[in-house]
Structures are given as C-alpha cells and as structure tokens.
A = this chain, B = another copy of it.
C-alpha cells in the first residue's frame, strides 16, 4: 500500500510502498478514504513529540471503511464506515481508565504518533479508538471533525454554558471556524474575535452575531460592551492574545483554552476574584465523543471548510496548513 512517511526528525514526507498492515487481536484495519492534516502533525514532522520513533506515518483525522477486524474485536464489522481521531487507544487498567476517564489514560496512545496513522491507504487502530461515522457526512468532511471538530465541540458542550449565553471564539482558523458554527447551533450568542477584518463576512455567515477586530479595538473592552463573555474559547495558540481577552469575561465567565501551546498566559488573582472567573484547558475527547461530535454535525449540518489533496501531494498540502494558508482544513485522499 501507499503511505506518506516521515523518516527522520525534520524530514519531508516521502511516498513509500508498505505492506498492508494486519490488525492485532483487538484491532481494526481501516481502508482510508480521507485524512485531515492537523497542526499537531508537526509533532511528527519536527520530532517534537516525546519519544517519537521513525519512520512514522502521521494522520489522526482519519475516515474510511473497516476492511478487516482482529480476532477479538466485537464492536466493529467489515464494511462499516468509521473514523479515528487523536486519542488512539487506552489501557483500561490504569487509575483514570478504571474510573472511565479514558482521555486521561496514563498509557494513552496517539494515532499517527504512537503508531502509524492515516496518511496512507490503510491503517490499523485499536478498536476502542474507533468511532462510527453517520451517513449524512462525506468522508472528506467528516475527517477534520475527528480532531478539530471534537476538540471544540467537546469543549463547548462541557463548558457549562447555557443557550443564549455570550460565547466568544478567539481565532478563526481550523478550530475557530468550526467553533463559531457549533456555538451558534447550540443557541449561543456567538462573537468572533480575529486580528483583521478579512474573515468578518465569513464569521457572520458561520453564525457569529458580533465580530471583534483586535487591531481596531481592545477585545476585552469590546466584550464588556456586549455584557461580558460567559465563555471565551481560545483556539489560537498565542499566549499574549489569550492574556489579552481575560478581562473580557463577564460574571462567572470562563476562558477555556483548547489551543495547545506552552506560551505563558498571565493573570492576576484580582482579575479572577471579582465575578468568579476562571481559566481552564480542554483536550480533545474519546471515540465516543467523536461519535457525538459527528452526530451533532450531521444533525445540524455543520461541516468544515476544506481543501482536498491527493496523498501524492502531501508536501504541498502540509505547506498550506503549516503556513496558515488553507481555508480551513486540508484533507488528503489516498
């Protein structure tokens, strides 16, 4: 089978011919139909994920059909359309797993990092990492929902917001353009925050009621003018930009960060005390959360804006993503 491999830290993607993998006893073999390119694939390309081993086939936004199941697989059947996201499997035996909190498994695997992912014609995945895909969604549209989509959907639905609340989405990119849609479909009064007016029109079309251009106005003040945000979902991984919106929180407001960055956010207790405000982080979710994300997307007609590339053009496709040129997610089709 054909696959796009990173062969060493910092290397380009090479199209190689590999043996079609065999599923282990609790694994599923998937014939890939679409695989999104995620910013976190840079962990593989740049070798920044702790302990990563080469060669490695990235890809954790995978949709395809079950080609074969391992001998002890009960959940899945040949022919089903399924997906695999960032959470690539768990041990069932550590303390978080025993509590049912699989996303915090101490031995969690990451698809396309712990094992080969979806930049290929086929991939295997542990059965617990696999999600069912509803027929309403095309494979190419569904793929980015398995990482970009689930992250913001799961963060939003578990954030404690209630219909009608003021929800600001900071950053309009792969995550943000989905978050705006989800937020609006959940009945929130949605505010988009960006650093130019380029995406103003689009943000409104996606469901934003208000738009804040941080170059033109202080986003914290602008949010306070609207009443103060109950939730600010930070999708752009820039410490300064996140710090800049803290004072835009209203009473009981929460700044929920899904942007994975090690950059510092600075906040003083006084900023949080009055009004009982908070800062929090949210990771992605499990296969079951993926199913919920996909089902909600099907129910409400929420899909990502995508650019499709054949697997052979993986380097070109990756460049679109890494240089923030794509509107908004790039999807490989093998």
Chain A residues near B (Cβ < 8 Å) = 74-75, 92-93, 95-96, 98-102, 104, 127-128, 153, 156-158, 162-164, 182, 185-187, 189, 209, 234, 237, 239, 242, 251, 254, 257-283, 286-288, 292, 295-296, 299-300
Contact = CB atoms under 8 A, between A and B. Distances in A.
B269 A237 contact: yes
A165 to B, nearest CB: 9
A295 B267 CA distance: 32
Contact of A274 (B187, B268, B283): B283
A299 B75 CA distance: 41
Contacts of A251: 96, 101, 104
Given A128-B98, A162-B157, A295-B164, A270 B260 contact: yes
A80 to B, nearest CB: 15
A268 B264 contact: yes
From A98, A182, A258, A278, name the one whose CB has the most chain B CB atoms within 10 angstroms: A98
A257 B281 contact: no
Say whether chain A's binding surface is mostly helix, strand, loop, or mixed: mixed
A162 to B, nearest CB: 5
A187 B189 contact: no
Among all A-B residue pairs, the 3 with the closest Cβ atoms? A100-B100, A272-B281, A278-B280
Contact of A280 (B164, B234, B272, B282): B272
A279 B270 contact: no
A164 B299 CA distance: 8
Contacts of A269: 234, 237, 239, 242, 257, 259-263, 265, 281
A95 B96 CA distance: 18
Contacts of A153: 163
A299 to B, nearest CB: 6
